[in-house]
Structure 1
């Protein structure tokens, strides 16, 4: 057996495809950063998000052409009503979960509201400030889901699937590996801990479940966007260790770190796990009402299917 090439499929094996896409992504990020520095572009969060997103989309698109040999849309993407309806559902899920986390912490006395974002002095109008942050979170949510859920899971399922490994087991292995990579890449964030890294691995699993069940990234992207934006842009928590000083509500975080996550944000505490379980519970109810069923979507049997991109 050739460890590099699958001669039956006439392409690189899945592990090498994922490795090359990730290396290409890193090289593109490095190159774009050099260009930004040469042009002396201000290091605003929206610019950095656009840079990372551009590198992410371009690396996946190149991967589809050079070694994946499939359509870019096969990675859970579409432009139809169903996809955007699921995106909206995901946005509501993230909003509800993070709002519940805030209410619990405020009721328990773990957070103190100290002011509001528009009260801070700034040369930039507050509406522009908060909209810029929303756009940054929208961009981050999209490209991270495209890479860590869409690209990696599709390829990992293909790589593990065999006569001896069922589709469910292949999907489980794919989710565990992609989620572990996702967690480890956040281990270097400010104020990160072992607990925060483990919790973000679980966040990767939570975000992967809707993709596995529906075959579409809409819900996962929506959850990711609203979880980050509501957490950091509206309610004043740090987002994976990074605070946003212009949040709508300004807070002082108290309480035990193992419960609240402390300066890293809710993802590093038990409250974050509670929020993720809340999202999964609501999603499971959604699948029962929409007859999806808690099973791996048929599109993963052969990588990707055109049915994923059609209204159902």
Structure 2
């Protein structure tokens, strides 16, 4: 039942935050404020429900080293997506028309922070972690990555290929970053950095949910395989390749640190995160 209670607790915060953000759509200041509030509230709710259901401190969202881990993740996310855009632009499929909207980009900080925190707590903090305890790292990464991609089919311009691409690149990259560090702060930062670069900086579509006004006023055009079409660059081949590359790097780090769990490692769950080497 701990899986159920933890999912319900974090999902409730995510739902409430999502409804509030939808209600103030178009107001950059309230979007920033409510998005950051959702992100800030979600973490103590997660800590509380983990303590109640597992009787342990949730060291995976511990305060020590949180800022540094989040910062490293954000830099990796921004760098990775910048690499995607540079490759698309090199082929002439990404065109900058001028400056976009600074206020809209600032509002997206809150929006993307809320999405990054709540989604990482749900998919990596709850689902991947608990599935991994019983079935091992590989099954946990595959199953939660597939579910993460499937959830994106609910987006407006979603496609089956786009959901599969998300499962491979994001499900793998974010899951592997958690396994390598045993901290949720790095995948939260990575998730935020990637999404903010995609929308807040380069102004492209985000997972089929619509283009946002970022710092740059730009458009993509050309082969769907390259640009991702209406779903956005995350359904393009460069995002998949960059995502796989980052995933491999994190998995190699996880193996070197001894963080990969075998299947049916029963009884290691609640306290294993605290005892694994950094």
SS in 2 for 1:237: coil
Instruction: Assess if the C-alpha contact under 8 Å between 2:72 and 2:186 holds in 1.
Output: yes
SS in 1 for 2:219: strand
Q: Which of 8, 13, 24 in structure 2 is aligned with 1:42?
A: 24
Instruction: Assess if the C-alpha contact under 8 Å between 2:11 and 2:122 holds in 1.
Output: no
Shift of 1:241: 1.7
Instruction: Assess if the C-alpha contact under 8 Å between 2:17 and 2:34 holds in 1.
Output: no
- After superposition, the C-alpha distances for 1:80-104 in whole angstroms (9 at most, x for unaligned) are 23x4333322222212211111111
The answer to which structure has the higher helix fraction is 2
Asked if residue 251 in structure 1 is aligned to residue 233 in structure 2, the reply is: no
Asked if residue 260 in structure 1 is aligned to residue 227 in structure 2, the reply is: yes
Asked if residue 109 in structure 1 is aligned to residue 92 in structure 2, the reply is: yes
Instruction: Assess if the C-alpha contact under 8 Å between 1:18 and 1:152 holds in 2.
Output: yes
Q: Which residue number in structure 1 is paired with residue 195 of structure 2?
A: 228
Instruction: Assess if the C-alpha contact under 8 Å between 2:200 and 2:215 holds in 1.
Output: yes
- After superposition, the C-alpha distances for 1:11-70 in whole angstroms (9 at most, x for unaligned) are xxxxx3223333444455556677x59xx9633543663575467446534532443332
Q: Which residue number in structure 2 is paired with residue 198 of structure 1?
A: 164
For structure 1, list consecutive stretches of 5 or more residues without a partner in the other structure.
1-15, 119-125, 161-168
Partner Cα distance (1:143, 1:26) in 2? 8
Instruction: Assess if the C-alpha contact under 8 Å between 1:111 and 1:251 holds in 2.
Output: yes
Q: Which residue number in structure 2 is paired with residue 166 of structure 1?
A: none
Instruction: Assess if the C-alpha contact under 8 Å between 2:6 and 2:50 holds in 1.
Output: no
TM-score, length basis structure 2: 0.81
SS in 1 for 2:3: helix
- After superposition, the C-alpha distances for 1:192-229 in whole angstroms (9 at most, x for unaligned) are 00011111212112211121122112321221111001
Shift of 1:262: 1.3
Asked if residue 63 in structure 1 is aligned to residue 49 in structure 2, the reply is: yes
Change (3 A) 1:96 1:278: farther
Change (3 A) 1:275 1:47: same
Larger radius of gyration: 1
| Number of residue equivalences | 270
Change (3 A) 1:99 1:116: same
Q: Which of 39, 60, 80 in structure 1 is aligned with 2:64?
A: 80
Change (3 A) 1:52 1:273: same
Change (3 A) 1:186 1:48: farther
Partner Cα distance (1:268, 1:86) in 2? 27
Asked if residue 292 in structure 1 is aligned to residue 235 in structure 2, the reply is: no
Instruction: Assess if the C-alpha contact under 8 Å between 1:213 and 1:296 holds in 2.
Output: no
Change (3 A) 1:170 1:307: closer
Instruction: Assess if the C-alpha contact under 8 Å between 1:196 and 1:268 holds in 2.
Output: yes
Q: Which residue number in structure 2 is paired with residue 241 of structure 1?
A: 208
CA-atom RMSD in angstroms: 3.4
Q: Which residue number in structure 2 is paired with residue 179 of structure 1?
A: 145
Asked if residue 136 in structure 1 is aligned to residue 111 in structure 2, the reply is: yes
Change (3 A) 1:51 1:309: farther
Instruction: Assess if the C-alpha contact under 8 Å between 1:106 and 1:112 holds in 2.
Output: yes
Partner Cα distance (2:156, 2:207) in 1? 8
Shift of 1:145: 1.2
Asked if residue 157 in structure 1 is aligned to residue 132 in structure 2, the reply is: yes
For structure 2, list consecutive stretches of 5 or more residues without a partner in the other structure.
none
